[in-house]
Structure 1
């Protein structure tokens, strides 16, 4: 069996052709049954006519024909039921084929993804990422602590008090009573005492080099 292009039809094409043929058979059976029903009515009328005329022999002959006709009509109902059952099975087979194809495609896709992604490598990469991220966090924390230690000197607290006092003086707020116990600020320009004690750029770079080693 080949299609119009001379190629062997696919399973889906065969399923559609089968479904089409079954529908045609069903229509033919229905048409035959309607014809038998018309013949049945004619025979019934003819039998009644012969009975009125007293033709008993003719009634017997026609009665036999009527019995055979009714048996044939019963067969058409059985045939229609069988065709419908085959049609349902055909549709179910088509649905199963679609499901099987979908599962096959999904399985192939999963296999391709597993081959590309390599689960073991992905897991290893995730572990390496976690370790690198943790190491980065620890390094960042160590650098921050070191910089804090380098930049925090004993005079910072006094310098902070001096800056706060200057700001409060500028906005006209007096806190002489509250600041009675605070250490006295260094004389001179703001920041002179702390600038002399800050580490140089060379010292900071040396400390960072130690952390990287």
Structure 2
């Protein structure tokens, strides 16, 4: 600022005095804040004692990714329930009708039901193919399929078990087991051998009870 008069000089002096007062006030505030921080630090140290920095070697590395826990035991329990619910020791042969084609119906269910099932009065709403599965795999797959279908309100299903032509001795082992397992499922009202065009002796058409 150019000083041309005594009045200009007084203005400059006043501005310098104001700036100096501001600087002094800021210095006092910083000193007070520092004293406050020191007091708080000493209070913390008195409360918790001496604090030492943990050495790097003692630190546990933080996991890079968080993996959601898998309820493996629950899965095992559910599979055990399914296995126990469908026994291989159950003999269903005495409950099957073997007239022109194999069929099954629960006590109290009329022959007209299996007759309509053979005719295709109910549209097939779902299918499970067990052909080629091991016995244990087929047991679990069938139980889950029936349970889920019934829960979703499906009524007519097709279960493909194969004709057993690839089994040792050409014996349809899985076919007879599927008959036994289906008879043991309370949701199953009836089943019949599928039509030739729908799998014939290698498949069954199954009727479930209404949901609920």
TM-score by length of 2: 0.30
| Structure (1 or 2) with the greater helix fraction | 1
TM-score (norm 1): 0.30
